[in-house]
Chains A and B, each alone.
Chain A
Amino acid sequence: MAQVVVVTSGKGGVGKTTSTAALGAALANAGERVAVVDFDVGLRNLDLVMGAERRVVFDLVHVVQGTARLSQALIRDKRIETLFLLAASQTRDKDALSDDGVERVIQELRQSFDWIICDSPAGIERGASLAMRFADLAVVVANPEVSSVRDSDRIIGLLDSTTDKAKRGEQLEKSLLLTRYDPARVDRGEMLGVDDVLEILCIPLLGIIPESKEVLHASNVGLPVTLNNPDSAPARAYADAARRLQGEQIPLTVPSEKATLFSRLLGRRAAA
């Protein structure tokens, strides 16, 4: 049965789009049929992070308004056959999306995909509420940083009150993806630790993504981090998180960069 996942955070810049692309690619790599959907109408970026920015013809707004078929708007990933992108419009605003239209598109996506991953815009306005409204489960992305944790708490409140599932009296499953985590700084007491954040937010942990230069490198070249360098620490952390989404029990650790031959010769480890 298809699962509709919203990737959300409240705060901007914490890694929603990076996480949507990385989780989507990891699930598709495992053979699942995946559609990643950009809900950030007017400020789309998932296309850029996925390396499909030159190939967008039709977008979510066209499909919602009925001017294009869903099959014509879905862009197949060049590397993974089962991964598709539905881009947001760059020229319209969020009011171009009607609730009924979005619901119809999500229902149609459910027919052909195992996973529909909705990349929410930052904030709590219309785009964000539409991205979460039809979700079966939510991935809350947060940085170990006070304003991000506060905004995540607010988003968790909205997930529990404004989504269709919540309104039906059902429990919307939520899990936390802690990104830009630096274990060394946590050890030194300079950064909130996993336990600190979990104690405040009280939702299960989906994964811990270590701070890494691989994330910027992957977006520079337009590849999800899980495809660009699958052995890197963030890629392994995202791959584990994707397997947890699929229901696997995997011990939670913070992957660190493997020492390269070159760094070993120099007698030091690459950045953890």
Chain B
Amino acid sequence: MNFGSLFGRPRSAGTAHHRLQVLLKHERRGRPDLIPVLREDILAAIGKHVTVDEDTVRLKIDRGETVSLLEIEIEIPNETKREQKACA
């Protein structure tokens, strides 16, 4: 809480400065394709064991100040159901 916020809205320049610092730290590091490469490798590893439909893969990232959080959601088909279908 700063003095300005007592009389209305908090000052936003500090927020702008912080957002730029975090963003530019990532952009200057120069590995823009890291996430797509990781995705390919992870899918290939899983693909060795099960068939993955690429449409069901969901990827989320939250680039933080010191670490980034990568979330990969992969639907793995239910093998038993498929066997049942094959028998029917």
Contacts and interface: CB of A to CB of B under 8 A. Distances in A.
Interface string B33-58: 10110000000000000000011011
A262 B19 contact: no
Contacts of B23: 48, 53-54
Interface in A59-74: 62, 67-69, 71-72
Interface of A, helix, strand, loop or mixed by DSSP: loop
A221 interface: yes
A222 B19 contact: yes
Contact of A91 (B9, B16, B19, B32): B32
Contacts of B16: 219-221
B12 A54 contact: no
Contact of A53 (B13, B19, B36): B19
B5 to A, nearest CB: 12
A91 B60 CA distance: 19
A71 B55 contact: yes
A84 interface: no
Contacts of B12: 216-217, 220-221
Contacts of B61: 54-57
A39 interface: no
A115 interface: no
Nearest to B26: A54
B13 to A, nearest CB: 6
A69 B19 contact: no
Contact of A48 (B13, B19, B32, B54): B19
Nearest to B12: A220
A57 B35 contact: yes
A72 B15 contact: no
B57 to A, nearest CB: 7
B76 interface: no
Interface in A228-266: 229, 260, 262
Contacts of B77: none
A221 B5 CA distance: 15
Nearest to A229: B9
A222 to B, nearest CB: 6
Contact of B15 (A62, A69, A220, A229): A220
A263 to B, nearest CB: 9
B62 A72 contact: no
B87 to A, nearest CB: 33
A146 B23 CA distance: 35
Nearest to B27: A90
B37 to A, nearest CB: 11
B60 to A, nearest CB: 7
B7 A262 contact: yes
Given A54-B22, A216-B12, 9 more contacts: A48-B23, A53-B23, A54-B61, A57-B59, A72-B58, A217-B9, A219-B16, A221-B12, A229-B9
Interface of A: 48, 53-58, 62, 67-69, 71-72, 90-91, 216-217, 219-222, 229, 260, 262
